[in-house]
Amino acid sequence: MKKKGFFLTAVLLLAVLLFFWKEKDLFQKKGQQSATGTPTPEIAMPETLRNVWILSSTEESITYFYEGKQTTLPTKGKVQDRLPACVGDLTVQGNEILSLVLKPDKITAKVLRVDEKEMELEGYGVLPLTEGFKVYRLYDGVAEEPSGKILVGSADTEFVLEGGKLCASLLRKKPELKKIRVLIGTTGYQGYYHDAIEITADCGFTVTSGEKKEVCEPGERYLLTRESFGTDSGRRVIVPDKADGKLTVCNLKRSSGTPSYRGTLEVECRGEGLLLVNEVTMEEYLYAVLPSEMPSSFGKEALKAQAICARSYAYTELMANRYAAYGAHVDDSVASQVYNNTGETEAAVLAVKETHGQVLFYEDTVAQCYYYSTSAGHTASAEDVWENAKEIPYLSGKPTAYDGESPWYRWQTFLSLKELETGINQALKTRYSVVPEQILTYDASSGEFVSKPITETGTIKSIQIGERGKGGIATRLRIEGSKGVFLVKNEYNIRSMLAPLGKEIYRENGECVTGTSLLPSAFVVLQKGVYDGETGYLLTGGGYGHGVGMSQCGADAMASAGYSCEDIIKEYYPGTELGFIYH
């Protein structure tokens, strides 16, 4: 018992001594005065800078780049050898480098997928990222970039390894941008994950999985399902034997039937299903974009303008890397550009070939080339259509006079109050789930519109356009119902609320078409009244689409009037210039 008491007393004394020692150390670090009244200088603690880019060294200093800044610091001891430009960890105390750990292990590979925690590299599989992962751009000077700048599909990308993980990427040259990776959606564009993918080709083709290769004959069908991957959740790469061969996805449907694809197809198995990616040259991609986005019967100069716009749009999307987590740059739906919904045509291919590599530039940057079907006589400004969008000089709303003969130049439809209640209640819930900050409810206690879950409007009392942008496009819609007052922002949301679901829309040329899930455009006027015995709203509007950039029907009218591709570009994207991203 005495030994135990002595042991406890010793532990308590040690704890007291440690407490006062820590307090003394803390005071020194804070620079408090000593008993003599003299300030105690702060002692900087050593700090490890992970994955810095070492630029150069002398015997007594190291120059490095870290977090956007180039720094030169002396070393505690002499540097025996001149250091090569490389990645390493520095331990720094105050203005002195205490130690350095170099990371010489590197690999070079094609990037197949990028997300925040890992990357998939061809030949290496999925590799995790270390904490403090860095991306250094080493051309046009040295700069640090976000990981999103590592473009999916870029070959010969250099990575630095640390313990089997990726700790840095070195971008030594501008990426080659002649190929694009397209995420192929399911039938009806209902999603990205397929239950099964069956592939054939007009020539022989090879299916590769790691080191394993399977050779298939022309016309032979190759079926992939989640079960066929087994425990291997890797990637299958399907390559036609001929450079101009086409791969057909037998169980996929598009408006022109079963689609066939140039380039290669890749199938990745995930828990949700199979992802299908088509890697193809940019020019061949455009072969199947043009007929899907613009009628091939349009004038040659209009098709050439469309090719330049589509190439510019594809380039900006590729650089944005929005679909990197799927291993792609764009998808094949209206979320990007519609691709291969309608098969290639001779006119579309010719327009692409005659504009090979051409894009639009604005102040040395590739322009954002939005386009749509038909103008109402005035284009829309980007900031009036997309919430929080910045003003873009070449996408500022302006009068245009070339759509007057288009069937969608003017249109009209009637929606009863009951039809509006049904459509608005459905759209409010759907759009709130996607963009809750744009679907607001009036809060009586604060006197403001706030974002909160929506049940239903109740009986519709009134619907009004709250605000308009340039040219009259509706940017705010106010809906008053018996169960609340709602404010809807953004032209797409407004078009969703006022969708003429299954209703007749009468166009200026006298034709009647059946309404869809969106109002033709937000250039619309609402008139409440009684029509054929029903109370509701007459919707009179003009144009088809969001209204930003080039009107395709306007471009066709200009082509028919003898205007050139360059004239069309100047009309819809003033201040831009034609240039090339490659030759």
Count other C-beta atoms under 10 Å from residue 371's C-beta.
23
pLDDT at 5 over 70: no
The pLDDT score that the predictor gives to residue 3 is 42
What are 91-129's pLDDT values in tens digits? 999 899 999 999 999 999 999 999 889 999 999 999 999
Note the pTM of the prediction, 2 decimals: 0.87
The pLDDT score that the predictor gives to residue 9 is 43
Mean pLDDT in residue range 11-31: 34
Distance CA 578, CA 570 (A): 10
- Of the candidates 71, 77, 80, 76, the one whose C-alpha atom is nearest the C-alpha of residue 52 is 71
pLDDT at 444 over 90: yes
pLDDT at 14 over 80: no
Beta bridge mates, 486: 441, 479
Mean pLDDT in residue range 202-211: 94
pLDDT at 232 over 80: no
Q: How confident is the model at residue 558 (pLDDT cuts 50, 70, 90)?
A: very high
pLDDT at 33 over 60: no
Mean pLDDT, the chain, integer: 91
Least confident of 9-23, 109-123, 382-396: 9-23
Q: Which residue has the tokens 């592939």?
A: 199
The identity of residue 279, as a single letter, is E
Q: What are phi and psi of 486, to 5 degrees?
A: -130, 145
Enter the tokens of residue 375: 């103008």
Q: Which residue has the tokens 């066939």?
A: 260
- Of the candidates 201, 222, 108, the one whose C-alpha atom is nearest the C-alpha of residue 156 is 108
Q: What are phi and psi of 450, to 5 degrees?
A: -130, 160
pLDDT at 20 over 60: no
The pLDDT score that the predictor gives to residue 40 is 54
The pLDDT score that the predictor gives to residue 516 is 87
Distance CA 106, CA 97 (A): 25
Distance CA 97, CA 47 (A): 10
Q: Which residue has the tokens 């029509």?
A: 531
Mean pLDDT in residue range 394-398: 96
The pLDDT score that the predictor gives to residue 30 is 33
Q: How confident is the model at residue 32 (pLDDT cuts 50, 70, 90)?
A: very low
Q: How confident is the model at residue 175 (pLDDT cuts 50, 70, 90)?
A: confident
Enter the tokens of residue 320: 């944005």
The pLDDT score that the predictor gives to residue 234 is 77
User: In terms of DSSP bridges, do strands 165-171 and 125-137 run parallel, antiparallel, or are they unpaired?
Assistant: parallel
In the chain, what are the domain boundaries? 47-102, 106-171, 179-362, 411-541
What are 529-551's pLDDT values in tens digits? 999 899 999 999 999 999 999 99
Least confident of 45-59, 76-90, 391-405, 513-527: 76-90
Enter the tokens of residue 530: 């009684």
Mean pLDDT in residue range 376-405: 95
The pLDDT score that the predictor gives to residue 57 is 92
Mean pLDDT in residue range 273-297: 98
Mean pLDDT in residue range 63-77: 94
Exposed / middle / buried, residue 13 (Cβ in 10 Å: 0-12, 13-18, 19+) = exposed
Question: Which residues contact residue 421 at a Cβ distance below 8 angstroms, ignoring those fewer than 6 apart?
Answer: 457, 459, 460, 481
Enter the tokens of residue 476: 């705010």
Q: How confident is the model at residue 174 (pLDDT cuts 50, 70, 90)?
A: confident
Q: Which residues of 270-291 are buried (b: 16+ CB within 10 A; e: fewer)?
A: eeebbbbbbbbebbbbbbbbbb
Distance CA 355, CA 302 (A): 12
For 53, 159, 293, 306, 314, the CA distances from 354, given in Å and listed in that order, are 44, 38, 18, 12, 17
Count other C-beta atoms under 10 Å from residue 443's C-beta.
14
pLDDT at 307 over 70: yes
Mean pLDDT in residue range 374-382: 97
Mean pLDDT in residue range 334-359: 97
Mean pLDDT in residue range 173-178: 85
The distance of Cα 406 from the centroid of its chain, to the nearest Å, equals 32
Helical residues (DSSP H) of 113-164, grouped into ranges: none
pLDDT at 24 over 90: no
What are 492-541's pLDDT values in tens digits? 999 999 999 999 999 988 899 998 899 999 999 999 999 989 999 999 99
pLDDT above 90 as % of the chain: 83
